[in-house]
């Protein structure tokens, strides 16, 4: 098994984040620092992360969390801010699937299943994410809606078309499948309607529902299977080729 996949299966991080951990020189295999994520490892190899032994975990957990404003979407924060991981008490190592900005609220997933995290966040799978955006300079006109649906030219390139519905004069429902930093906010800024409040309400087939801010619940087996199927159904190609749009989601 390749080292990055081994780390993901051990619940260290998603496969992509595990590759970064390896390249940073934080992993040793049988006493040797390894910086190649593609290095093969065997079940009997002695694999350490920052000097601590790791091994694949057998129990797979996925939680849905309603992230409040001011909570950061990381496992640890050097500035002492509350993290989404701190909202769920678990003896297993959990990490967020993708990211939301500190001031964005709503649905975020925590898991120790690196393969599922990879499937849900890798851009080649195009798993949709839906947001409620409260905007300024209401009402939103037809020209702005058309531009959002067609795709917006941003400083890092043109976005893919979004699905957009106007729910009220100052509220939009926006569905995207890319992973650019603060993408929904930048798209709305570009059409003259800065976002004043942003909440993610859906990730693939999973809805936030009536989960209270700061609360969490484990997903059922059927919900996890639905998430996995959503990733498979929308993947463009088995090769997983990406463009500059393939960045981790942080809306």
Query: Which residues participate in catalysis according to the annotation?
Result: 101
Q: Give the end-to-end CA distance of the chain in Å, rounded to a whole number.
A: 33
Torsion, CA 233, CA 235, CA 238, CA 239, rounded to 10: 180
Q: Is 209 left (phi over 0), alpha (psi -120 to 50) or beta?
A: left
Q: CA 51, CA 68: separation in Å to the nearest integer?
A: 34
């Amino acid at each position: 098994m390749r080292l990055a996949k081994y780390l993901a299966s051990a619940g260290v991080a998603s496969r992509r984040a595990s590759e970064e951990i390896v390249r940073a020189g934080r992993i040793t295999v049988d006493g040797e620092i390894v910086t190649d994520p593609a290095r093969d490892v065997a079940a009997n190899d002695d694999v350490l992360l920052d000097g601590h032994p790791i091994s694949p975990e057998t129990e797979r957990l996925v939680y849905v969390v309603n992230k409040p404003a001011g909570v950061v979407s990381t496992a640890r924060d050097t500035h002492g801010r509350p993290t989404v991981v701190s909202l769920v008490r678990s003896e297993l190592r959990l990490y967020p699937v993708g990211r939301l900005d500190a001031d964005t609220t709503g649905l975020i997933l925590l898991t120790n299943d690196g393969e599922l995290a990879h499937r849900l966040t890798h851009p080649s799978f195009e798993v949709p994410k839906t947001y409620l955006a409260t905007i300024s300079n209401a009402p939103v006109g037809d020209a702005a809606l058309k531009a959002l649906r067609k795709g917006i030219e941003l400083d890092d390139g043109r976005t893919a078309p979004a699905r957009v519905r106007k729910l009220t004069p100052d509220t939009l429902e926006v569905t995207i499948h890319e992973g650019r930093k603060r993408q929904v906010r930048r798209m709305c800024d570009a059409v003259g309607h800065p976002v004043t409040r942003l909440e993610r309400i859906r990730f693939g087939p999973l809805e936030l529902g009536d989960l209270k801010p700061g609360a969490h619940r484990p997903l059922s087996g059927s919900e996890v299977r639905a998430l996995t199927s959503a990733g498979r159904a929308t993947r463009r190609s088995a090769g997983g080729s990406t463009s500059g749009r393939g960045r981790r989601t942080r809306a």
